[in-house]
Amino acid sequence: MKALLNIENLHVTIEHKNILNGTNLVINEGSTNVLMGPNGSGKSSLALTIMGHPRYIITQGTINFQGVALNTLSPDKRAKAGVFLAFQHPCEIEGIRLGDFLREAYNSLYDNTPQQLSLKEFATHLKNQLNLLKISDSFVERFVNVGFSGGEKKLAEMLQLAVLQPKLAILDEIDSGLDLDALKTVCTAITAIHAAHPHMSFLIITHNPRILNHLTLDAVHVMRKGEIVTSGGPEIVDELEKKGFK
């Protein structure tokens, strides 16, 4: 299998505090990965560092994405390279319809290229993705996340993922605060998107083993104190459930 993302010896600080202390992580093309670990172990920091959040300063190590060093690229360039991050707490944007937001996001990814879509072409693309995720048309008429339930906010992130079709989708605590039905809906969306785009890779951050009952995993990575301490197959999850993160 070909590596899509290869992180080597990554050290990161925030406000002069060491957060990541030599993280190593390989994500293969087309694979579904889960990143687990106790609260405060650095999972979100790793996700934000991959995406290029300016508060996270890389002091050592490399983030290699298909042969390109992401380290110094701005977040928009990383997005154009094919990295996507779904937020744990998506923000609400009053006055902006979800459908318009998605069209702007899509067309800015393809700035000045023939892949940009006209209004009509985008409407078709969006409709296809709504069908894929079995979401009703009225969903995208609403303002971005305004008045959305927890489950709807996460579904909106999944719709964004389906529309933008990145190479790597990082989903930070996509399951947090969801009841079982909403959790299943999100997992069904992930599975449908992956089936439609088999080359897409997923890094799903969670500390809830329940999500794993609804997804087919290739690899599990466990983080502690800013380091990946174990990587392996899905069987690691059973062990974690029995023994905890220690």
For binding to Mg ion (CB under 5 A), which residues are involved?
43-44
Minimum gap (Å) between residue 55 Cβ and ligand ADP: 6
d(CA 241, CA 112) in angstroms, rounded, equals 49
Can you tell me which of 23, 31, 32, 44 binds ligand ADP, judged by CB under 6 A? 44
Q: Does 45 bind ligand ADP (CB under 6 A)?
A: yes
Q: In terms of C-beta density within 10 A (0-12 exposed, 13-18 middle, 19 or more buried), how is residue 7 classed?
A: buried
* Contacts for 109-113: CB closer than 8 Å, 24+ residues apart: 109/79, 109/80, 109/164, 111/80
User: What mask, x for binding ligand ADP by CB under 6 A, covers residues 75 to 114?
Assistant: ----------------------------------------
Minimum gap (Å) between residue 169 Cβ and ligand ADP: 17
Minimum gap (Å) between residue 131 Cβ and Mg ion: 32
User: What mask, x for binding ligand ADP by CB under 6 A, covers residues 112 to 131?
Assistant: --------------------
> Toward ligand ADP, which CB reaches closer, 58 or 164?
58
> Toward ligand ADP, which CB reaches closer, 14 or 192?
14
- DSSP output for 71-105: TTS-HHHHHHHTEEEE-SSPPPEEEEEHHHHHHHH
SS3 helix, strand, coil % of the chain, rounded to 5? 40, 30, 30
Binder of residue 41, out of Mg ion, ligand ADP, none (CB less than 5 to 8 A by kind): ligand ADP
> Toward ligand ADP, which CB reaches closer, 99 or 226?
226
Pairing relationship of beta strands 143-144 and 93-97 according to DSSP bridges: antiparallel
Binder of residue 15, out of Mg ion, ligand ADP, none (CB less than 5 to 8 A by kind): ligand ADP
Stretch that binds ligand ADP, among 40-48, 90-98, 107-115, 123-131 (CB under 6 A): 40-48
Comparing C-alpha atoms, which of 21, 24, 34, 64 is closest to residue 232?
Answer: 34
Q: Does 32 bind ligand ADP (CB under 6 A)?
A: no
Binder of residue 40, out of ligand ADP, Mg ion, none (CB less than 5 to 8 A by kind): ligand ADP
- Is 126 strand, coil or helix? helix
* Cα→Cα distances 188→72, 94, 214, Å: 35, 28, 8
d(CA 174, CA 202) in angstroms, rounded, equals 12
Comparing C-alpha atoms, which of 10, 104, 98 is closest to residue 48?
Answer: 10
Q: Does 49 bind ligand ADP (CB under 6 A)?
A: no
> Toward ligand ADP, which CB reaches closer, 15 or 181?
15
Q: Does 40 bind ligand ADP (CB under 6 A)?
A: yes
Under the rule (CB under 6 A), what is the footprint of ligand ADP? Answer: 14-15, 17, 19, 37, 39-45, 55
